[in-house]
Amino acid sequence: MMRGMSETPPLTSIADETAYAEAVQLAVDASAAYYGDGTSTLDDDAYDRLVRGIEAYEAGHPDQVLPSSPTGKVAGGAVVGDVPHTVPMLSLDNVFGPDQLAAWAASLERRLDHPVTAWSVEAKLDGLAVSARYRRGRLVQLVTRGDGQAGEDVSHSIGTIVGLPERLAEPVTVELRGEVMMTTAQFADACAKRQAHDGTTFANPRSAAAGTLRTRDRPYVCELTFFGYGALPLPPGDDSPLAGRLRELPHSQIMEWVAGQGVQTTAVTPVAGVLVADLEAVRARVEEIAAARAGLDFGIDGIVIKCDLAADQAAAGFSSRAPRWAVAYKLPATEKITKLLAVEWNTGRTGIIAPRAVLEPVELDGSVVTYATLHNAADIARRGLMLGDSVTVYKAGDVIPRVEAPVVHLRTGDERPIDIPRVCPSCGDAIDATQERWRCVRGRACRAIASIEYAVGRDQLDIEGLAVNRIQQMLDAGLIADFADLFYLTRDQLLALDRMGETSTDNLLAALERAKAQPLSRVFCALGVRGTGRSMSRRIAAHFGTMDAIRAADAAAIQQVEGIGPEKAPVVVAELVELDALIDKLIKAGVNMTQPGVVRPPADEAADEAAGEAGGEAGEPLGLPLAGMSVVVTGTMTGPLAALSRNEVNELVERAGGKASSGVSAKTSLVVAGDKAGSKRTKAESLGVRVATPEEFAGLVAAFL
Ligand code: IVH
């Protein structure tokens, strides 16, 4: 996650005066589009590189600097709006890693001539800055940042912005500043509305928010979200007691007051601003916010670090562009523009036919992205995507990269329509297109080989000696149609297969016998229920305890499992209905359908709730060595754990009462760090989370190995 954060991204190199003039024009156009209707001709990273290239050229050729150059100007000099700001709305200087942050803090402390002992660390919200003017508690005017000196009046948007109330709790006169943005849900809603209206979508939440905030008289209304990050006296010279308090109070206390007025701040999110005393703690919070980023339902593009005390802020002052008492710690881009080269269609093991975008490789959040999800055919049509399009691609943390939208104004006319398959790309049979997610009419049977291969895999039933070609042989011979049939194979049937001797037959039969005793978590996982993988299967098994209880659960009951939301729950229920006959066949074959260690299925609601209040799920094995602990396993395991797969170590964690998790945060209790543990180990150390070697950990859970 933090890879690349310590480096400044490379800059665009500019060879001569002509290239310089072109670069300036490109930046001016991009900035006008960005601050204008929110569209983007360049992604953030490309813009940053370009401006730094321009800066570097200007440093070497000060006589050639063009007046239109974006360097040193707020909003790159894009002038929008005619409402003067009471106090300029400035930018922030950027740092790109811990070393640059330390250098910035050191220079600030030299300027102040004392160490800063109170830092506010906040998410840098990826939206548009606005100023909200309240008179006697009523929201009377809303203004965009514009060029920082004057902005555009967007008061027509008042009433459509969640978190920015039309009335404050008290009848005060004050100017609030903050960011207007769209949450993921608001963005989806806005895209659907625009789609229905004119057949197009927005490129990303930021441009959707910009367009929405500035457009008057749209025939449809899209909701926005506000998060406040500052409050100022109104007018600036006001001498009321409130104005005095806003000048004297620390930033953190002002933000508490803002929240108390009924205005939304990040305090209600997982990335609440925190107050810390030293740079070490600043860094830890930076890491936490960066780690939380992928799970947020709104965009952040960095972390803002501010001096909390009013006296420090006043002493540090401002440059023409930015305050000296605050800095933006930029996070790697999660969205970039690249080219859509091709679309591949594949049938998965559950029979779902899904398109995949092949992209011109692009670096996003620390990894190179070449493929991205395109969801389904309807989605391609909705977004009006074409081959050869420039597209915005999003990826953060562990999420699967996805194509967000075409950048329509970058079209050249050479784009071609995307071919949509008429038959299943795997078997050539018909497509069931009644749902948005297309499926081969043969369902799971279409890719039986893939679902059986998955079911017998090491982390599911772990049936040794069943290679793909052997499974294919059995399918071809008509001996099996699904993985439950494996348990009905007779010795004679197996011996009759080519290249199957007595020893292999007996070994396979023994492996099948052992597989029948696998815990429910693995049996459930083997089913390959859509939307559930290994860790979700473990959670489901731990929650319900028996297959009977899982099958009896309706969508509401399934949703009680952590990580299953209202969208996934009905899919799981429907999948279980579809898998009914397969599950019955497994039961009849004597396959285990219970989860060891789960003492009680959650049939009794009251008992369930009591367990919940005690901090445990149904049957959480309290009193075990890892009870209540969140454990992250990383690196190559050694010693007694050397032979275990990552899933097996996670299972061990859960048998011993812990919760296996993949990301390190301040809430992590223990990190088991093997060889080449890398960034998770570093992060654990910086957060002060306990780190154990595989050997130490094996000692702790020896009874469960
Ligand atoms: S404080 C004098 N706090 O970032 C400027 N800004 O790149 C002080 N932003 O224009 C701004 N989240 O629109 C501040 N928590 C936060 C922020 C934040 C996002 C935006 C703001 C500003 C831009 C500067």
Lowest mean pLDDT among 3-12, 149-158, 216-225, 511-520: 3-12
d(CA 126, CA 142): 18
Determine the residue type at 197. H
What is the position in ligand 1's atom list of the atom closest to the CA of 318?
A: 2
**What architecture (CATH level 2) is domain 520-598?**
Orthogonal Bundle (1.10)
Residue 196 or residue 569, greater confidence: 569
CA 672 from centre of chain:
24
Q: What is the residue with the minimal CA distance to atom 15 of ligand 1?
A: 124
Q: Please indicate whether residue 456, judged by its CB atom, sits closer than 6 Å to ligand 1.
A: no
Over 50: is that where the pLDDT of 602 sits? no
Residue 605 or residue 541, greater confidence: 541
Mean pLDDT of 139-156: 93
Q: What is the residue with the minimal CA distance to atom 18 of ligand 1?
A: 124
Q: Please indicate whether residue 125, judged by its CB atom, sits closer than 6 Å to ligand 1.
A: yes
CA distances from 430 to 438, 446, 671 (A): 10, 11, 49
Mean pLDDT of 489-510: 95
Here the tokens at position 433 are 């297109």
pLDDT computed for residue 599 by the predictor: 58
CA angle 320, 325, 331 (to 5 degrees): 95
Position 40 confidence tier, pLDDT thresholds 50, 70, 90: low
Q: Which CATH number fits domain 17-78: 2.40.128, 3.40.50, 3.30.2000, 1.10.287?
A: 1.10.287
Smallest Cα–Cα separation from 411: which of 562, 200, 570, 677? Answer: 200
Q: Which CATH number fits domain 94-330: 3.40.1440.60, 3.30.470.30, 3.40.50.300, 1.10.10.10?
A: 3.30.470.30
Over 80: is that where the pLDDT of 653 sits? yes
Query: 347-378: per-residue pLDDT in tens?
Result: 999 999 999 999 999 988 878 999 999 989 98
Over 90: is that where the pLDDT of 662 sits? no
Residue that is written with structure tokens 């969801």 in the block: 375
Position 689 confidence tier, pLDDT thresholds 50, 70, 90: confident
Give me the residue spans of the domains in the chain: 17-78, 94-330, 335-432, 443-515, 520-598, 620-704
Q: Which CATH number fits domain 620-704: 3.90.800.10, 3.40.50.10190, 3.40.50.970, 2.130.10.10?
A: 3.40.50.10190
CA atoms within 13 A of residue 136's CA, in its CB half-sphere: 0
Q: Please indicate whether residue 229, judged by its CB atom, sits closer than 6 Å to ligand 1.
A: yes
Q: Please indicate whether residue 266, judged by its CB atom, sits closer than 6 Å to ligand 1.
A: no
Residues in CB range of 166: below 8 A, 6 or more apart: 138, 139, 158, 159
Q: How far is the CA of 124 from the centre of ligand 1 (A)?
A: 6
Fold match, 443-515 / 520-598? yes
In CATH terms, the fold of domain 443-515 is DNA polymerase; domain 1 (1.10.150)
Task: State the catalytic residues.
Answer: 124
Mean pLDDT of 255-274: 96
- In CATH, which superfamily holds the domain spanning 335-432? Nucleic acid-binding proteins (2.40.50.140)
pLDDT computed for residue 80 by the predictor: 62
Over 60: is that where the pLDDT of 619 sits? no
pLDDT computed for residue 598 by the predictor: 73
Q: Please indicate whether residue 91, judged by its CB atom, sits closer than 6 Å to ligand 1.
A: yes
Mean pLDDT of 264-286: 95
Over 80: is that where the pLDDT of 620 sits? no
Over 60: is that where the pLDDT of 596 sits? yes
Over 80: is that where the pLDDT of 325 sits? yes
**What share of the chain has pLDDT > 90, as a percent?**
67
Query: 88-126: per-residue pLDDT in tens?
Result: 999 999 999 999 999 999 999 999 999 999 999 999 999
Over 50: is that where the pLDDT of 327 sits? yes
**What share of the chain has pLDDT > 70, as a percent?**
93
Q: What is the residue with the minimal CA distance to atom 2 of ligand 1?
A: 90
Q: What is the pTM of this model?
A: 0.67
Over 50: is that where the pLDDT of 666 sits? yes
Using the 8-state DSSP alphabet, how is residue 37 labeled?
T
Query: Which runs of E-coded beta strand occur in 20-151?
Result: 83-84, 94-95, 119-125, 128-135, 138-144, 150-151
Lowest mean pLDDT among 27-36, 447-456, 530-539: 27-36
Q: What is the residue with the minimal CA distance to atom 21 of ligand 1?
A: 129
Residue 427 or residue 217, greater confidence: 427
d(CA 520, CA 545): 8
- Which runs of consecutive H residues, i.e. helices, occur in 113-240? 184-198, 205-214
pLDDT computed for residue 622 by the predictor: 53
Over 70: is that where the pLDDT of 9 sits? no
d(CA 48, CA 365): 16
Q: Please indicate whether residue 88, judged by its CB atom, sits closer than 6 Å to ligand 1.
A: no
Strand partners, 344: 356
Q: How far is the CA of 327 from the centre of ligand 1 (A)?
A: 9
Q: How far is the CA of 90 from the centre of ligand 1 (A)?
A: 8
Q: How far is the CA of 228 from the centre of ligand 1 (A)?
A: 10
Lowest mean pLDDT among 586-590, 603-607, 624-628, 669-673: 603-607
Here the tokens at position 683 are 């992060």
Q: What is the 3-state secondary structure (H, E, C) of 89-116?
A: CCCCCEECCHHHHHHHHHHHHHHHCCCC
d(CA 133, CA 86): 10
CA angle 288, 294, 297 (to 5 degrees): 110
Q: Please indicate whether residue 129, judged by its CB atom, sits closer than 6 Å to ligand 1.
A: yes
Mean pLDDT of 510-530: 97
Mean pLDDT of 682-699: 87
> Which residue from 179, 289, 320 has its CB within 8 A of the most atoms of ligand 1, so it is best to mutate?
179
Q: Please indicate whether residue 670, judged by its CB atom, sits closer than 6 Å to ligand 1.
A: no
Over 60: is that where the pLDDT of 1 sits? no
Residues in CB range of 24: below 8 A, 6 or more apart: 54, 66, 68, 69, 70
Q: What is the residue with the minimal CA distance to atom 1 of ligand 1?
A: 229
